[in-house]
Structure formats: C-alpha cells, structure tokens
A and B are shown apart, each in its own frame.
Chain A
Amino acid sequence: MSQRSWRRMQGWGAALAFLLAMALLSGAAAAQPEVQWPDLSGVSLTVAAGAVGQELQLTKEAAAAFSELTGAKVDVLETPDLATDRLGLYLQYLGARSPDIDVYQIDVIWPGILAEHAVDLSQYVPEEEIAQHFPAIIENNTVDGKLVGLPWFTDAGLLYYRTDLLEKYGYDGPPQTWQELTDMAKAIQEGERAAGNRSFWGFVWQGNRYEGLTCDALEWQASFGGGSIIEPDGTVSVNNAKTAEALNLARSWVGTISPPGVTTYAEEEARAIFQSGNAAFMRNWPYAYALAQGEDSAVAGKADVAPLPSGGAGSAATLGGWELMVSTYSRNQEAAAWLARYLASYEEQKRRAVIGSFNPTIEALYEDPEVLAASPFMGSLYDVFTHAVARPSTVSGDRYNEVSTAYFTAVHQVLTGEATAEQVLPRLDSELKRIMR
C-alpha cells in the first residue's frame, strides 16, 4: 500500500508539495510532444469498441473529437460485453479479411492470437510516445518484435466495499484476508436482511463460465500462493493444494454470502446488484468506480475500493486491460494508426480516467492531480496496478483460449457443485498439458 508521501503531509507542507507537484506536472504536460494531426478529409474509419458501462459513450466522444481534428469520418461499432463473444466476432471479420473495421479494441490476452492480422504500430508511432506507456504492457503487446497494439487502458481486479455498512457494523476498514471478507460479508448480510432487505447479499463477483471467471479465480489462487495456472517457463502448475483450498473457499460462498446465481454473473450483473445497494462487497474492474459514484447510483459516496484480500500469500489482482490494434486488412492503415494514436494519447487517456475511471497506461498520468482527484484510488492503489498478475497468455500464445476455457470450465464445475476441487484439478492438469504439448 504505497501512499504518496505528499498526500500524508499536513497543512502548509501539503500545500507546498501540491504546488511543487503542479509545477512538476505542468512540466510533464509541457513535455508532451506537440503532435501535428494530419488532414484526413474524405477518409472514413471504423473502430470496434467495447460497450461496458460508459465505454461506448467515451469512445464515441473521442471519435467525434478526432473527426473535428482531422476531418476523418469515424464510426464506432458496438461489440459484445463478454470478451469471449467479442473475440468470436473479431475472428469472423479477420478470418474473412474484412476491410470494414480499421481499428480493434483488443484484450490484453489477445496479442498472441491476433498478431498475424495486426499492423506493426512501431512504424507509425514515434518511439518516445511508445515509451510513455508501462513497459510491461508494451512488452505484452509485442509479438516477435511486432507492436500488435497500443495500450489504451489497464485493468486490475479491485475489492469494492460499502464504507457506510462497514462503519454501521463496527469494522474499521476493508478486509485483509478472504476469511475476514467471508465473516464480514456474513455478518452484514444477516444484519441487513434482519433489517428488512430480503435481497441483500454479502459478496458479488464474476462466476459465469467465461474469461472473467479466469480473472477472478486466478486472483483467489494466486493470493493463496497457488501459482498462475501455467508458469512463464511453461510448467503446468495448477494442480496443487493451495489452489484447491482457494477454489473450495469460493465454492463455500455460492448460496451463502453470494447469490446462488453468481455462477451466471459477469461484470455488469455484479455491478447491478452492488450499485443498487444490495451487496456489501463486490469484485470488479476500475470502470465500476465512476459509475458507483455516479448520480443514479444508490451507493454514491458510500462505496470505496481496496486491494483484494489475501489468502496468505498477499493480495493478488489479475492484469486486465485493452489495447488498440490496427487491422492489416484496413484500406487506410496510416489513418487508422493516427486514430489509434489519438485514442491512446495522454490527453484522451486523461479524459477517460477523469470521467470513466479507466486506468491510464501512461505512467505520468498517475501523478496528474485531476486524475487523482476524480479517482483517488489510482494513487493509493498504484502498486496494485503495477504488480498485477498476468494470465498465462504469453506462454500459451494462440492456444490461450483453450487454456483459459479448460481452466474456467473446471472452476465453474467446482462452483456449481458438479465436482470438488480435488476431483477437477488433476483432470485440468492433464488437459492443460495436452493443450501445451
């Protein structure tokens, strides 16, 4: 938990530090290279983008701003919420070599799968602009020396909690361990139900059988010290007692502190329950922060975020996030690259961070006062974002989907009670070894 030192200072010290930071930042802002945007009148571009929460609205606004700047016509294509479905749609376009979409919003785990359809963006984007982003993400997006995607925003799993309810039930802060979370959720749930809210739940998360479950379950097992499914050297490590312990704990939540239907929830279903004031805790990505504090939220001002609890091996958050890829089948690759550059630029990432609490991939933005004022957690949870656990997508390349599907299917079987962790893990182990052969 690295608190910025200047945020802990008092009075004059803080003011002085603030002024100093402002000075530094104006310096940082001034250091932003002035980009000469080209004239792209007559060019029309299409960007395939996500529509989770406020995503689509923000992308449409950015597209309009880019049109204003360059004269290009930009259409935004709305794509499915579930990452798994979205990839299916993309592959239909890419498999048919369709020029209809120029820029794709791709998941942090897809560079290996989509590399052959991507334009090498290092030809179009100046080196110093690439160097602004977190090096780990740039490395993740580079396949055989080709920069497949420009980082757009990064994600890590967070624990959302109700500050008012914690206070009401006499807790002085969010839970540090999963066991604490289980006990707190249970106590709050019983109390709230006794007070008349029959549909109140302790903890909501993503239990549907899809990519999101891989993210949630990886957080449980990594925080117990159960490794990361397949280690970077290619060893399949999932079949161990720590992972079994983590999965059995999660199984115990279903129907007790989590709704029985949690095994059908994705991000938005969990958010619907938390944001309507019907849950004490939620595991979700940063995008839900701005929405939970929004005007139509029942928990505005009563919700905050913390690092996910530990299972004995420290807190773990799965690395998520989205990149911008330019398709090789685009008829305007250069213009498309300009659009990707614009969307991933300092100013645009800042706007998305302030309005939508989307985590920037540009390091300097984590010290921007406007960003920190809108989403204080970006400063206080900085370490969570820089130490997030990666899914084994690099090591499994274009077989990642098979790896992840095998994993989330096995986890889902444990959650729905079809099998115990001790039964599924050996099976999963041999299946993963077969896929990785």
Chain B
Amino acid sequence: MVIDRPEPLLLEEAATGGRGGVTLAARQARLGWLLVLPTLLVLVGVALYPLVDTFLNSLTNARLGSSRAVRFVGLANYKDLFSDPVFLQAVGNTLYFTVVSVAAELVLGLLMALVIHSRFPARGLMRAAVLVPWAIPTVVSAQMWRWMYNDVFGVLNDLLMRVGLLDAPVAWTASPGLAMNAVIAVDVWKTTPFMALLLLAGLQVIAGDLYEAATVDGASRIRQFFSITLPLLRPAMLVALIFRTLDALRVFDVVFVMTAGASGTETVATYNRRILVEFQQLGYGSAISMVIFLIIFLFVLLYVRVLGVSEE
C-alpha cells in the first residue's frame, strides 16, 4: 500500500520542460496521456456509462419489466424523494450505521493492528486468525449471526441466561431500539480485521529510528504514539476510512439477510431495492441511486479535505 510520489524535482522538470525545452514537456505530457488512455476508457465504460444511464432513468417514470410507454418527468422523482418519510428515515438510519460502525471499526482495528504489530511469539498465527471473520462471505456471516441472535434457539440468549445477565430471552433483531445495533455489531465483527490489515501496512512503513530518537529524547510511549504513530498513519487511515465509509453508506447484504430492513434498520440501499424490485419503479429507484452516489461523493470530498495528506 505504499504509493511512491514523484520527486518534486522531476515534477518541476516535467512542468517547465527542464533542460529539454517546451517540446519535450509536451511530448512527455502526450505520452502520459497515451499511457493512461486505456484505463480512462475502461473507467468510462464501467463507471461513467452506468452513472449517466441511471441519471437519465431517474428523470423518467419508467417501470421495471413493463412495456408501458416511458414519460420524461424532469425532477419530479427527486421532489417526491425529499417528501418521502421512509426515504428520509432510511437516510438517517444509513448515516447512523455508517458513523457508528466505521468509528467502532477504526478504534478496534487500530488496537488490533498495534497488537499484531508488536513482537510476540506465534504472531503469524495471530495474523491469520484475525482474518477469519473477514474471509467469511457477508451473507453467510449475517445468516450465522441471525441464528445466534434468534430468540428461541439462539446461542446468545442461552449464554446470557446461563450467566444470569438475562432472565428472559431478548429478540435482538426484532426490537426497534436493538435491531440496528445488532446489525452494526455483525458488521464490526466482520470488517474490523480488514481495517486492522490496512492500518498494519501503514504501521510497518514507519521507520524504527524515529522511535529510537524519540526514546533518546525522553518521550513517553504514549507521547510517541500521538506524535509519531498517528500522524504517520494518516495516509493509511485515510485509505481505510474511505473504503469503509463507502461500503457502509451502501450497506445492503447484512441488513437484508438479518432484518430485511424491518424494525428501524431500513437503509437507503434496502429501500432502493424495494422500490426497484418489489414496486418496479425504475425511475424513482434510479433517483435514489443518484442520491446515494451524491452522498458518497460528498463524503469522499470531505475526507480528502479534512485528512488530506499535506503537500509540503
């Protein structure tokens, strides 16, 4: 995960042409464009085209699997969206899910990464073991947890009742206050290892002599963590946070399997599926997809602004 940034000197040379004059710079620039052209074409094909297509659909009243004539309705779908209480609730639920799960994963992932990073026997085994939850497909782990949460047969109620923490079984995924947190717990269990792995990569590129120097200067372990480890981890953290946030904002599978969006767990993506698939409203559903896209876009901008690696 180490990205070599070009040396400033080379950048300047390319920009001003260095010793080779303007023509060289132009040639280099053209070569650069040629080299990235295949990538750009693929991106346009797999990312831009569907996006534009979805946007165009969102301006119509199209229905899925229907031969009815499609009418252009302008921004009516978007207007309906912002007066749709279920949608607004779903946006709220999604943001709650995202903030809580990503924050929990960041903290736990960092702790996990620090543990694996330290030297102790059987460290390799530990690293492999940590990855198990991440290796299980989400649908499978969600189904597994659904059974564990079950009110009558679930192992969770059984354990808690044996220990005496509960005197009656709790329906974890049925009560509105609990269901979303039960889903978040599963998501955190599953994706914390991923977070830990990315942060571990970041930890491993921090030069050891920095810590040696800090120790010589008399900095405490805690001071070292906040003055050296955290600042230098920022690039890795940014990558991890962007990955996780984008995933969390689009969360679908874990919610769909565990609660299908009932009991206050409806997210934007599960609601979108319902509109598209169950109600066959392609136009309205596309408008929801566009809103998801915009929310994610805003989050990325925010991260890059706030955490952006400074360019000194």
Residues of A bordering B, CB below 8 Å: 82, 84, 87-88, 91-92, 94-95, 113, 116-117, 199, 201, 208-210, 259-264, 272-273, 278, 398-399, 401-402, 405, 412, 416-418
Pair count A-B, CB < 8 A: 83
**Chain A residue at minimal CB-CB distance from B258:** A264
B279–A401 touching, CB < 8 Å: yes
Residues of B within 8 A of A209 (CB): 260-263
Shortest CB-to-CB span from A91 to chain B, Å, is: 5
The majority secondary structure among interface residues of chain B is loop
> Which of B151, B171, B279 has a CB less than 8 Å from the CB of A402?
B279
A95–B65 touching, CB < 8 Å: yes
Residues of B within 8 A of A399 (CB): 279
The majority secondary structure among interface residues of chain A is helix
Of listed A84, A261, A399, residue having the most chain B CB within 10 A:
A261
B174–A263 touching, CB < 8 Å: yes
- CB of B67 closer than 8 Å to a CB of A: yes
B67–A261 touching, CB < 8 Å: no
> Which of B173, B259, B274 has a CB less than 8 Å from the CB of A405?
B274
Residues of A within 8 A of B261 (CB): 209
A91 to B242, CA, bound (A): 34
B152–A116 touching, CB < 8 Å: no
A262 to B150, CA, bound (A): 10
Given the interface contacts A87-B278, A88-B277, A199-B152, does A260 sit within 8 Å of B176 by beta carbon? no
Q: For window 259-279 of chain B, which residues contact chain A by CB distance below 8 Å?
A: 259-264, 273-274, 277-279
A84 to B260, CA, bound (A): 11
A94 to B64, CA, bound (A): 9
A264–B278 touching, CB < 8 Å: no
A88–B173 touching, CB < 8 Å: no
Given the interface contacts A117-B65, A199-B152, A412-B262, does A261 sit within 8 Å of B277 by beta carbon? no
A261–B278 touching, CB < 8 Å: no
Residues of B within 8 A of A405 (CB): 274, 278-279
Of listed B66, B153, B171, residue having the most chain A CB within 10 A:
B171
Q: For window 234-281 of chain B, which residues contact chain A by CB distance below 8 Å?
A: 259-264, 273-274, 277-280
> Which of B150, B264, B274 has a CB less than 8 Å from the CB of A261?
B150
A95 to B62, CA, bound (A): 12
A88–B278 touching, CB < 8 Å: yes
1/0 contact string of B34-68 vs chain A (CB within 8 Å): 00000000000000000000000000000011110
Given the interface contacts A116-B67, A405-B278, does A208 sit within 8 Å of B262 by beta carbon? yes
